[in-house]
Amino acid sequence: MYTPVRQSALAQWKFAVLRMVLEFLMNFIVAFNPSFDAWNIDVSSPVWQVVRWTVWRSPIMRIYGYTTYVTVMYGMMVAVLLSVVCLAWLTLAMRKQEQSKWLRTSATFLHVVYDVIFVMCYVSFFDYFVFMSDCDFGAPDKPHLYFSGVNCLRMPHLLHMLAGLASAALFLAVTALLVVASSDLNPVSQGYLASPAAYTRLRILMTKAAYIICADCLDAFPRVQASTRGHGGMALGVFGMLACVCFIFYWNLRTMPFYWRPVNAIWSGLWAGILVPCAIVATLQWNGKHTEEHRNEMTRMVLYLVFPAIAVGTGITALYGWWAMRPAQKFKDVAPGTKLSKVHKFKNEEEVERLARVMRVFDSDGLADLDAAALGEAIIKAGMQAFPNNPHLFILNFRAVLRVHKEVLLLQAELWNLCMRPALKVAQVDSAMDALESASGRAHQVYKRVLERYPTNGKLLRCYGKFLEDVKHDQTAAARAYGEANRNGGSAGGGLLALDLTGGLTGGEAGAEHGGRPEFLTSMSLEDDAIIVADAEGTIMMVSQAVQRVFGWSKAELEGVNLAVLMPQPFSQRHPSYMSRYVGGGEPHILDSVREVVALHKDRYVFPVSLCVTKLSGVGADSVFLGLLRPLPPNCNEMRAWLAPNGVFLCADQQFASAVGLAEGELMSTREGVVGHTLSSLCAVPVDADELLERARAAKEEELAAGMVRGSLKLRHRYREPVDLECLVRPAGEAAGRVGRGMFS
C-alpha cells in the first residue's frame, strides 16, 4: 500500500476541503434520507436533488430499479478488483524498475484512483454493497425489504447478495490497509490531512462500517424487528447508529488524530452535526410518535440544529485541543541537568506524540522553527525515558541509519583483519561472512524503511548511495541514489548551512590556480547574499534565503530546476554548453573571478549583478559549484543594455526601459518592446548607431574593456522627443560568441 501512498497527487488544500465535505455529507445522508419513516424530506428540492447523489444507492434504487442497481453494483466490483490487481502488478514492477518514469506516472494515477474510491467515496461504496443483504429473513418467503418480488435466498439474488458481501469485505480490508499505510509519522509533515494515529483511524473506520450496517441492514433480522417498549422494529438499528456516531465523535475529540489542530476541530464538529439526525431518530423510535405533523417538525429540527451542532462541536474540540496541549509548556526553559521524565508524567505514548506537535511552527519556507523543534525534541526524549521499550516511540532517523551502516563497516574491517592471520579456519571465515551478510541485509532494510518515510531527504539519499557503493558494491544503484540526492539538495556538504564554506573557499583546485579566492567571495553572508549551489549539469541543488528577495522565486520553485531560468537569452541558451565544456576537461573561464552579468527576474525584467563562481567539490560530472550574486546598485544616470555583435537588442535593465518610455513587462516583449530590434531602428539617426557598432566590432578585447569605444546617440522615446544619450560599449561575453553591453548616460 506504500506504492500509491508515497505519491502526492491530491495534496492541495482544495482536495482536503472536498474530502471533509464528502465525509460529512455521506454520513449525514446515511442517517437522513427517505428510507427512514421518521423524516418527511422534500425530495423535489433542488438542493436534495444534488446532495442525494453523494450516497448514490438511494437515488439509483428509487429511480432505476433492481436491474440497474445490480448492474451498477457489478461495475463497482470491477473497479475495486481492478484497483487491487493493478496495485499488485505495479508493486512488483517497481521493485525491478523503481526509477521508471512511466511506472511513477502510473503510481500517481493509481494514487488518485485509490484516494477517490477507498477514501473519499468509502461510505457510498460500502453502503451500496451491504444494502443487497437488507432482507426479512424471518418471513416465510425471505423478501428483500425494498425490492418487492425478490427472494433473498433464491437465485439470482442469492448470488448478487454473496457477491455484494464479498466485495464489501474486500473493500473494507483494502481501506483498512490504506489507512495504515497512509499514517504519516513525520511530526512536521505538511499534509493537510496527515495523521499518525493509525489505531484510532482503524477504530473509526470499523465503527463507520458498523454505522452503515446498522442503517442499512440491522432491520433484516427477526429479533431486531421485535418491538422495543412496544414500538417500531428498527429500534436496535437506530440506537446502534447513535452509539457508533457517539464513539466516533469521542475518539476524534480525545485523540486528535490529525496533525493540524484546525482540521481536528472541524472534523469533530462535522461528526457532531451527524449526531443530530441520529439522536432525533432514536428519540422518535423510543417515543413511537409517527404522525405526519410530528415527522415534519422533526425534519425541520434536524435542519435547524445541524449547523449550530457543527459550530458547538468545533468549538469544544478547539477548546479541548488548547487544554490538552498545555503540558507541553512545562518543557520550555527546563534547567540544565533536569531529568526530563520528572517534568511531566505522561499517561501513555499517544500523549507524547500529541504534545510533541508543538514543533509544528513553520517559517516562510515551510521549515520548522528551531526553538519549536528543540521543544518538541525534548518532549520526545522525555517520552522515550518514560516508555523506554515502547515501539510507538521508536524513531527511524538519520542516526539509526548511520549506526547500522557503521556496524556493517566494522564487520567488514573485522573480516579483512581475520584474513590477515597466518592460520585460518574455514569455519571462522564462514561465521564472519554470515555475520557480515546478516548485518548488511539488516542495514539495507533500515535504509529502505527510513527512505519510505523520507524519500526526498538528500542527505539520507547520499548516505544510501555510499552504502550501495561500499557495502553492496552496486555501482549502478549507487549512481541513481547519488543523482536523486543531488536533485534533492543532498550534496557532499549536506545542505547550504552545513557546507564547509570557510575551508572550501580558501583553497582547492581552483584556488590554487588563481592564487586564492577573491575578497568578494570570502566576505559573503548566508543571510544577505544570494547564494546558489548547482551540480555539473546546471541543476540548482540549494539556494540561500536572499535568492527569493533578489530573483522573486521561492526556494521550492528553484531547487531542482536549471540555472538557465535565471538568465535571459542568449545566455540561458549558451550556459549548458559552457558547463558541458568544463566537465569535458575544458579550461574554466569565470571560476574565482568577479564578473558583471545580467540576471532575469521572475517578473521577466533583467538587472545587473556581480557574480563570482567557485567549485566546492567533485571532479568532472560530480562537480558541485557555488555562485555568489550581489545586485549592483541602480544609477538613475546610467542605463545598461545588452546587444549581439550585429546590433540586435537582447535585453536591458529597468532604467533603460524608463528612458525609452516602456514598462518592465513590455521591455522583454518582442512585439512592443526593444528585444529583437536593432540598435539603429531605435535611434533617430540610424547612421550614428551603425558607425558605433562598426567601431565596436573592429575593436580589440582590451580596447572594449578599457572603455575606448563610445559615442553619442539619439534614442527614440515612446511618448516624447528623442533622448540624447552618451553610449559606452563594453564586452559582456566570450570572444567566441561576443555580446556587447552598452552603458547609456
Is it the case that residue 291 has pLDDT exceeding 60? yes
380-403 mean pLDDT: 70
How far apart (Å, rounded) are the C-alpha atoms in residues 508 and 131?
Answer: 74
Q: For residue 472, what pLDDT is reported? A: 86
Residues 194 and 140 in one domain: yes
Contact 446, 454 (CB under 8 A): no
5 falls in which pLDDT band (50, 70, 90)? low
Is it the case that residue 734 has pLDDT exceeding 60? no
How far apart (Å, rounded) are the C-alpha atoms in residues 488 and 456?
Answer: 6
Is it the case that residue 319 has pLDDT exceeding 60? yes
Q: What is the SS3 assignment for 743?
A: strand
493 falls in which pLDDT band (50, 70, 90)? very low
- CA-wise closest residue to 716 among 743, 676, 689: 689
Residues 412 and 475 in one domain: yes
Residues 613 and 739 in one domain: no
Which residue's entry shows cell 505519491?
Answer: 7
Q: For residue 700, what pLDDT is reported? A: 79
Sign of CA dihedral 200, 201, 202, 204: positive
Q: For residue 585, what pLDDT is reported? A: 65
Q: For residue 514, what pLDDT is reported? A: 42
- CA-wise closest residue to 83 among 163, 1, 195: 1
Residue 492 lies in a domain: no
Is it the case that residue 227 has pLDDT exceeding 60? no
CA distances from 523 to 29, 222, 502 (A): 66, 86, 10
CATH number of 692's domain: 3.30.450.20
Q: For residue 678, what pLDDT is reported? A: 78
| CA triple 660-661-662, angle to 5 deg | 100
Residue 496 lies in a domain: no
Residue 566 lies in a domain: yes
Per residue in 80-92, pLDDT tens?
A: 999 999 888 888 8
170-178 mean pLDDT: 93
Q: How many folded domains does the chain comprise?
A: 5
Which is more confidently placed, 706 or 407? 407
Is it the case that residue 228 has pLDDT exceeding 80? no
Domain end marker among 581, 598, 631: 631
Is it the case that residue 75 has pLDDT exceeding 90? yes
502 falls in which pLDDT band (50, 70, 90)? very low
Residue 737 lies in a domain: yes
Is it the case that residue 377 has pLDDT exceeding 60? yes
Is it the case that residue 50 has pLDDT exceeding 60? yes
In DSSP notation, 247-280 reads HHHHHHHHH--SSSHHHHHHHHHHHHHHHHHHHH
- CA-wise closest residue to 206 among 168, 238, 255, 234: 168
Is it the case that residue 670 has pLDDT exceeding 80? no
Neighbouring C-alpha atoms within 13 Å toward the C-beta of 559:
23
Which is more confidently placed, 512 or 138? 138
Sign of CA dihedral 282, 283, 284, 288: positive
Residues 474 and 550 in one domain: no
Backbone angles phi, psi at 353, to 5 degrees: -65, -40
Residues 609 and 644 in one domain: no
How far apart (Å, rounded) are the C-alpha atoms in residues 110 and 92?
Answer: 14
- Ranking 283-292, 444-453, 594-603 by mean pLDDT, the lowest is 283-292
619-644 mean pLDDT: 78
Residues 520 and 624 in one domain: yes
**Proportion of the chain above pLDDT 90, given as a percent:** 16
Residue 601 lies in a domain: yes
Cell of residue 352, nine digits: 507524547
Residue 86 lies in a domain: yes
Most distant pair of Cα atoms in the chain: their distance: 110
**Sheet of 530-535, strand order:** 540-543, 530-535, 624-631, 606-617, 594-600
The pTM (predicted TM-score) of the whole model is: 0.58
Domain end marker among 280, 307, 324: 324
Residues 478 and 612 in one domain: no
371-396 mean pLDDT: 75
Residue 156, preceding bond cis, omega within 30 degrees? yes
Is it the case that residue 745 has pLDDT exceeding 60? no
Residue 494 lies in a domain: no
Which is more confidently placed, 246 or 513? 246
| CA triple 421-427-432, angle to 5 deg | 70
The end-to-end CA distance of the chain, in Å, is: 66
Domain end marker among 576, 599, 631: 631
514: CB partners within 8 A, 6+ apart? 591, 592, 593
Residues 446 and 538 in one domain: no
Cell of residue 589, nine digits: 573561464
Q: For residue 252, what pLDDT is reported? A: 92
Residues 510 and 586 in one domain: yes
Residues 573 and 696 in one domain: no
Per residue in 335-358, pLDDT tens?
A: 776 777 778 888 888 888 888 888
CA distances from 425 to 135, 412, 435, 520, 702 (A): 75, 18, 16, 63, 75
How far apart (Å, rounded) are the C-alpha atoms in residues 77 and 160?
Answer: 11
DSSP label at residue 510: H
Domain coverage including residue 381 = 328-393
Cell of residue 118, nine digits: 477507498
628: CB partners within 8 A, 6+ apart? 520, 521, 524, 529, 530, 531, 611, 612, 613
312-336 mean pLDDT: 88
Residues 213 and 308 in one domain: yes
In DSSP notation, 209-232 reads HHHHHHHHTGGGSHHHHS-BTTB-
Residues 103 and 251 in one domain: yes
Per residue in 544-556, pLDDT tens?
A: 878 888 888 887 7
570-597 mean pLDDT: 75
Residue 493 lies in a domain: no
Contact 517, 614 (CB under 8 A): yes
Rounded to the nearest 10 degrees, the angle between the axes of helix 458-470 and helix 426-453 is 160
**379: buried, middle or exposed (CB in 10 Å: 19+, 13-18, 0-12)?**
buried
Cell of residue 566, nine digits: 535565471
Rounded to the nearest 10 degrees, the angle between the axes of helix 122-130 and helix 66-96 is 130
- CA-wise closest residue to 198 among 378, 470, 456, 5: 5
How far apart (Å, rounded) are the C-alpha atoms in residues 150 and 131?
Answer: 13
CA distances from 725 to 635, 686, 709, 744 (A): 15, 14, 14, 6
Cell of residue 170, nine digits: 474486500
How far apart (Å, rounded) are the C-alpha atoms in residues 234 and 379?
Answer: 49
585: CB partners within 8 A, 6+ apart? 620
Is it the case that residue 599 has pLDDT exceeding 50? yes
Average pLDDT of the residues of the chain: 79
Cell of residue 582, nine digits: 568544463
Q: For residue 735, what pLDDT is reported? A: 44
Cβ atoms within 10 Å of 576's Cβ, excluding its own: 14
Per residue in 236-259, pLDDT tens?
A: 778 888 899 999 999 999 989 998
324-335 mean pLDDT: 84
